[in-house]
Structure 1
């Protein structure tokens, strides 16, 4: 009698384990947070600060579209591109960082934590997640704010603009945290409030969640859509530890 293998192959196929659903949510091993607009409300006075910075960069001899139309971060990055190649970063910091620091201090006088911020950071720590920060705020104001709002010790590492050559939307700070943690980009969620956060996270290969009501209005993300859009920090517990 001649045997057919077709029924046997069907049985073997049914015995194979079912592959995981790639569309299902997965837990992240870690999260990197932005600071202003994300864990605290956004208070930087952008218009007057950027006008002063624009005059300062022009006075240093910088010109071009990035300085006539750029924002506080992209103006710095364009200047740093040139000064770094010339070995003159210390000179740039000495000339311009006091202006950034002064507007940081002005915002610090008004910052208030977003509802549930400290609770979120503590809950993530209890689940064993690593939690860090990459911010365009300077070290002095950032350290004072983290102490004031009892965030200090809940975020490690904390990377300020003083710790990198380039601000977000460049990915330098985010990549520094990934290297420190030795984690793959898709294992880490970046949480921010601006297009710079989306672009910085994308440049580093990270998925990104944006919280509404920060530096950028929701309509501004049409060209840079995040992976997740949330309305309050409490939503991130389920998203990160799914």
Structure 2
């Protein structure tokens, strides 16, 4: 760890246990997208949470380019409500892993700058970190509202690098999923899980 200056963490499944109810959320999101005219059969059965979010951004970008800005805003608002509702539901059950606090404490004592980069919404990320008195460990906290594409897209980790003014080789990303590892790889930083 001598070459790293910062460690970025995913939230759910990494610092706290994963509690998002994907079995209920995905069909609800698919129904909204289907109502908006999307042929959902093209995107897998069932499509993933991340692919649905990124697909939505692709769709709304196309609508904006066709001067359908109001339609894009309405669709994003509907979907944001769904994502936020499921974030809030997961928050009720999230618990930090037993070694979360001690790991963060040790990293700070060793001089590492810390951050969170999560696909969850801002209210949930900040809320759970505050509830368990973890928020002060982090110099940077990025959530779904800070990015237009979710991990594995490199946007969020690129934004973290820019905010920290660090190059990719100076940062380690810790996550729990292939999307986390791919996001780090797509950004040029090391990753572990």
Which residue of structure 2 lines up, in the alignment, with residue 236 of structure 1? Answer: none
Task: Give yes or no for the alignment of 1:204 onto 2:187.
Answer: yes
Which residue of structure 2 lines up, in the alignment, with residue 39 of structure 1? Answer: 15
Which residue of structure 2 lines up, in the alignment, with residue 98 of structure 1? Answer: 81
CA distance in 2, matches of 1:197, 1:182: 21
Report the alpha carbon displacement of residue 85 of structure 1 after superposing the two structures with TM: 4.0
Task: Give yes or no for the alignment of 1:49 onto 2:32.
Answer: no
Superposition pairs of residues 3-42 of structure 1, within 5 angstroms: 26-42=2-18
CA contact (8 A) 2:168 2:188 kept: yes
CA contact (8 A) 1:62 1:79 kept: no
CA distance in 1, matches of 2:158, 2:73: 22
Instruction: Figure out how many residues of one structure are paired with residues of the other and give that number.
Output: 186
TM-score, normalised by the number of residues in structure 1 = 0.72
Report the alpha carbon displacement of residue 139 of structure 1 after superposing the two structures with TM: 0.8
1:4-34 C-alpha deviation (Å, 9 max, x unpaired): xxxxxxxxxxxxxxxxxxxxx7441111100
TM-score, normalised by the number of residues in structure 2 = 0.90
Task: Give yes or no for the alignment of 1:114 onto 2:122.
Answer: no
CA contact (8 A) 2:53 2:150 kept: yes
1:179-209 C-alpha deviation (Å, 9 max, x unpaired): 1112111111100001111111111111111
Report the alpha carbon displacement of residue 66 of structure 1 after superposing the two structures with TM: 2.4
CA contact (8 A) 1:36 1:42 kept: yes
Which residue of structure 2 lines up, in the alignment, with residue 175 of structure 1? Answer: 158
1:25-51 C-alpha deviation (Å, 9 max, x unpaired): 744111110000000001111111111
CA distance in 2, matches of 1:174, 1:85: 24
CA contact (8 A) 2:56 2:76 kept: no
Match of 1:86, SS state, is helix
Larger Rg: 1
Match of 1:168, SS state, is coil
Change in Cα spacing, 1:26 to 1:127, as seen in structure 2 (3 Å) is: closer
Change in Cα spacing, 1:156 to 1:163, as seen in structure 2 (3 Å) is: same
- Over the residues paired in the alignment, what is the CA RMSD in angstroms? 1.6
**Which structure carries more helix by proportion?**
2
Segments of 4+ moved more than 4 angstroms: none
Where structure 1 has 5 or more consecutive residues not aligned to the other structure, the ranges are: 1-24, 211-242
Which residue of structure 1 lines up, in the alignment, with residue 147 of structure 2? Answer: 164
